[in-house]
Structure 1
Amino acid sequence: MVEIYVHSPTMEGIHLRGAKVARGGIRWSDRLDDFRSEILDLMQTQMIKNALIVPQGAKGRFILKTACKDAEECTRLAQGAYVTLMRGLLDLTDNLEGSQVVSPPQVVTYDDVDPYLVVAADKGTARWSDCANDIAAEYGYWLGDAFASGGSRGYDHKQLAITARGAWVCVKRHFHELGQDIDRRSFTAVGVGSMDGDVFGNGMLQSSNIRLLGAFSAEHIFLDPNPFPEVSFAERKRLFELPGSTWQDYNQTLISLGGGVFRHRQGHPPRLRGTCLAGRTSPLDRRRSADPAFVDGAGRLVVVGRHWHLHQGQFGVRRRRG
């Protein structure tokens, strides 16, 4: 395993590779207490996902060490932290000049040559690949705009929906084995994620027959006990196309009786008539019947019964139950 750790007064970041030739995304993490453990888990998952693509997987994350007053300031500080991480990675990475491997200036190396480093767009950094590639060009890094995938000269994860479309094939296969054709009938679903995300957002647009009963994101709990498929599909599509959207942007006049959008800091949703998703439950309540549960990306846990996220290593959500 190859590890690079970068820190400054305002941020900390880490990048792990399972081998010297490895690929994985860079995430903006909100798990201040255990982001190093988090990134190890995600790298190991990426290694499995990459088995048919490249020899090994990689993953990177960074956190902010300074508080911010609003979302706009958080984004500005996060992009600065991202730039610091990219520069730190390239400061320690060998380069190629023709066929000659060249070590970075003012760096004493004791290991073998290591000129291959790539990063990818991921949670919180989906629109910053061009920034990373500009830095790579400034450093004269040999991969150029192949350093960070997902930029304006590469493929767009969210636009192409590669992961979500692949997952949806599995969903359709599951229903086919149950003797059900979800292309011809509506079906209920619950999920973990929000519509601005690559996997969840694209996944919830794979069919207009989806009746999304509820979703649990990092910020909000979304509940819609009796949705109209066409209406809710159009609204999900609007949120997907709205930059930086959250469930709070959902038009709540379109939500059925007993539903709503709630922030986690409000605690559990209040008891509402007409739905067994209300009270001390979340959208993934085992008492509420739904067909599939669509979970956005690696690192998500569905916890049932009296088990706490703290016991599962989910320190960032230790006060929430699912």
Structure 2
Amino acid sequence: MTMFERYSLNSKTSLTNLKLVHVLGWDGKKLRVPKTVGYYREPQKMEFPIDLKYGFDKFVPMPPECFNVLHGMRYLMQLKPEELFDQPFDFCTNRRTLLELIGLNRMKMRTLVASKFNGCIYIKTADNVKEGQADVIRMRDTYVFKLRQSLVVDKPGDLPDIEQPIIKGKQNYGIFTAELDTIRLLYSAELTGVENSELLGNFSDPAVLQQCNLASIKILPNHMQDDYYVNYRMRAWLLQAHFANIKRIHLGFFNENGQIVAPLITEYSTELLNKQHWCLQCEMRVLRTFLEDISMRMANEDCPYTTHIFHVKGSNVKYEVREGKNEYSFLDQEFIDFMKLNAC
């Protein structure tokens, strides 16, 4: 019996105790707590049409070093030694990897790499383990970033500056903790902004983080407007929202000229979930079973360099191990040294 067959035999599975515990922003030089995570604003009538092609010639793609990073490691490194012992996690990862573990396209080959260190399994997709090349950018791929620039401002009441170049690498990330039944998760996810109408305080303050009402902005072409709620992209969007406790999704529709000419549609995530042909709890069971399987395979492992590699397609999983330092090792030496000094 494969793990994808086993999951259907299990009972109710859900993500609980989900908290935003830290925020990091990449300013082009280093990761630090940002002064703002951005505030969503409704566009005024006079702002339409919103030209999503505008400024494409100045678009700066994400550099390879910013791609597919486990920002949870940076969160752990800013904790005091006693706090490290109070926050044991079974897995440290990012939201992108969690979606790959669930399998948005289960017939696509997915490769994941994992290392276990100090009792925690660090896992990510393997597409950027080795230094890669910067993104090859198509204009269509930049549309959503232009819309975000038009709708997310530094503080409530501000107007956007659409003349500024979009630098994809300058991105804020949320660090989340959650429990998937008994599995304790620490993971990061990109932040679009918040929906709060009042200015929030210092994002280093846990009380401020608990006030954040995170936003989601998505786009689709006009011809998909009639049945957008069952569009194939909606599964990924709702899973993204679930892992970040996002209550609403703002959806804009663009025409063949790359323009949004009508107000955005705003939908509650719970209402969209009720219209789907798939089951959120089933997806969480798939994830739980996969994580349990990885935990069993790595039960006797604890080396920050040894890498377990999982090649997954459909219900088939091929598994290999590279012992010691190898070309797939991905934990930062700075992080390894910190944990050995403070948490081991």
User: How does the TM-score come out when normalised to structure 1?
Assistant: 0.27
Ranked by relative contact order (alpha carbons within 8 Å, sequence separation 6 or more), the top structure is 2
Flag the structure with higher strand content: 2
User: How does the TM-score come out when normalised to structure 2?
Assistant: 0.25
